[in-house]
Amino acid sequence: FPSHDRQKCKEKSTDALDLGTLVHTVLLEPHKFDEEYIIHRGKCNKNGSVPSVALNEYAQTNPGKFVISQEQYEFAILARKNVEAYPKARDLFYHPKCEYEVSYFHHCKETGLRFRIRPDIINFEKKYVVDLKTAADVDAYQFKRAVTYTWDYDLSAYLYLKVLHDMFDIHFDYYFGVIGKEEFAPVAIYKLSSDTLQGGKAKFIVTGK
């Protein structure tokens, strides 16, 4: 899949972050798409990015909006269709009691720190959280390595679950909803395992000190 060269008023950010943000919007908050994005339907660079000349024009005519290519838009739409076609993912993502992108603030007595968490998806009725990720490889082994060794997602998962338990006295299940960056946008669902959660707890204890 080509480089996701989304830019806002010529401000640059990382390809991975941009692709993840686009997918988040289309999958979880599609009502915000028209407010935040404009689709470039003309020719793109060889790497799939929107030409700088076009970006400059959009910055004048559509200030504050992120510019994406038609191909990038179609990828995000395909990702949503794939989630909707996969029963396990559809049930987790679009259960009627799901809430999206809600922030929670909590003062941690153990560390003295004030935490802010913002689950992508939370469902109090079914007691689960979904963390939506885009990844180069949705293979279970490769993704678990990224979770524990590359991105420390196990630490953030433990922190989210700890804050929610401290606030609401509820034990939530935690899922990763993974969208592959391949052209066909594969979807995988992984439930956080107890050993991965314990690894995150160990990191939390170390960093908390």
Q: What digits encode the pLDDT tens for the residues 79-104?
A: 999 999 999 999 999 999 999 999 99
User: Would you say residue 145 has pLDDT above 60?
Assistant: yes
CA 6 – CA 157 distance, rounded (Å): 28
Counting Cβ atoms within 10 Å, is residue 46 exposed (0-12), middle (13-18) or buried (19+)?
Answer: exposed
Q: Is the dihedral of CA 48, 132, 157, 143 positive or negative?
A: negative
- What residues contact 96, with CB distance under 8 A and at least 6 apart? none
Residue 148 · residue 196 · CB < 8 Å: yes
pLDDT in tens, 50-61: 999 999 999 999
Confidence of residue 110 (pLDDT cuts 50, 70, 90): confident
Region 135-151: mean pLDDT is 92
Percentage of the chain lying above the pLDDT 90 cut: 81
Q: Which residue has the higher pLDDT, 64 or 121?
A: 121
Q: What pLDDT sits at residue 9?
A: 40
Q: What pLDDT sits at residue 7?
A: 44
User: Would you say residue 169 has pLDDT above 80?
Assistant: yes
Nearest to 121 by CA among 94, 139, 146, 159: 94
Percentage of the chain lying above the pLDDT 70 cut: 90
User: Would you say residue 5 has pLDDT above 60?
Assistant: no
Helix (H) or strand (E) holding 160: helix 153-168
Half-sphere exposure of 87 (CA within 13 A, CB side): 0
Confidence of residue 2 (pLDDT cuts 50, 70, 90): very low
Kindly compute the dihedral angle of the four CA atoms of residues 55, 60, 63, 65, in this order, to the nearest 10 degrees. Answer: -30
Q: Which residue has the higher pLDDT, 58 or 10?
A: 58
Between the CA of residue 108 and those of 46, 163, 189, what are the distances in Å? Answer: 49, 8, 30
CA 77 – CA 79 distance, rounded (Å): 5
Q: What pLDDT sits at residue 156?
A: 96
Task: Take residue 20 and report the two structure tokens written for it.
Answer: 């993840």
Task: Take residue 141 and report the two structure tokens written for it.
Answer: 């082994």
